[in-house]
Amino acid sequence: MNLDTLTVLYASGLVVTAAGASFVISSVYRREDAVARLWGLGFISGMLATIAYAVWGYSPDLWWITGVGNAALVFAMGAMWAGCRVFNALRSLLVVPLVAATLVFAAVIVHGPNGGEWAGAPAMYLAIAGFTAATAVETLRGQLRERIYARILTVVFLLISVYYLARTVVYFAAGESSVEFLSYFGTVNTTLLNIGFLTVASISFSVLQSERNPDFRREKTSDRSSIAGVASRSLFEQQAEDWLRRAKRGDTALTLAIFEVENLDEMNIALGSEFGDRAIQTVGWFTRDNVPTASIVGRLDARRFAVMTPTPAVGEPRDVAERVMTAIAENPIDAIEGVRALATFGVASTAELGYDYADLARAAVAGLAQTS
């Protein structure tokens, strides 16, 4: 069965809009979360791209609108990459896809109305190949490394990257009008591929977002923690930044340690969510009771705790974290079940990184992967 280009473009618009709208709607209550905003921005850009291509398919005289579609598609891939970076507690670097999208749009404009339907195509192909490859790499790092749905995204983004690299090679080697290019890398095949990609991506990103912080609403609507002596994320970060400001004036070294319960999902599945909640509460107690008195303890999300404390005068900053880890390892959550929490930790010190909380948090989160 042969599908004409206009029909495929319209079908793409419907499918991509449905998939994108589904993710955006599911992320509305997380509007304060940077990851949800970036991924949502990516899907909205993908929707814009399909609309632009559909308009061009209906009215080819609007040659410039292909530039809008190309730029929107590149920015969509870049925003997904930026969201994965923030998921892993890194800077988004959103300016990179913004610049890339601008250059891709300019590549169409410089050709003018006589550029044809493939004007600026190589720039778009290379940009998409680059961002999808970078996203695949990002899904193998940090917190995403442990997520099953991130593995699905790894495969999908790698396939997209390879496809667009091959498309670029064939474009230059055989030409845009060649049988090889039009048969295997033409508009119809590529559009069908994009439909499949965005459908799988919307499902995977939605699951990852829900897994990332299942108690997001509760944390955003309350400044209290369910564990006595353990602050909520917002309160902990406020106190930590205040400590850092005062420590900087007094040239006092501070240490930030972050702990993550690795087997929370397994405990929830095997023993129920109530046991999982009890495990988190117990880890919170162990953390609170095994750090120096002059420390602040907070719960960052469903499975992470953080401690800020003065750096020990004797020993290493990681000594504080290792005391907590010893307590977690030696004490079961339930004496009858005998199940213990498995945790990892990351440590960052002002002596090495300075007094910016964001820098310390990124370094500590990066350390989680090194101790797992």
> Domain extents for the chain?
5-212, 217-371
The CATH number given to 217-371 is: 3.30.70.270
Of the candidate CATH numbers 1.20.1440, 2.60.40, 1.20.1070, 1.10.357, the domain formed by 5-212 belongs to: 1.20.1070
Of 155, 36, 133, the residue nearest 87 (C-alpha): 36
Fold agreement between 5-212 and 217-371? no
The per-residue pLDDT for 223 is 43
Nearest-angstrom CA–CA distance, 44 and 39: 9
Q: Which residue has the tokens 């048969």?
A: 183
pLDDT less than 50: residues of the chain: 1, 214-224
pTM over cut 0.85: no
Spell out a b/e string for 93-114, using b for 16 or more CB atoms within 10 Å of the CB, else e. Answer: ebeebbebbeebbebbeebeee
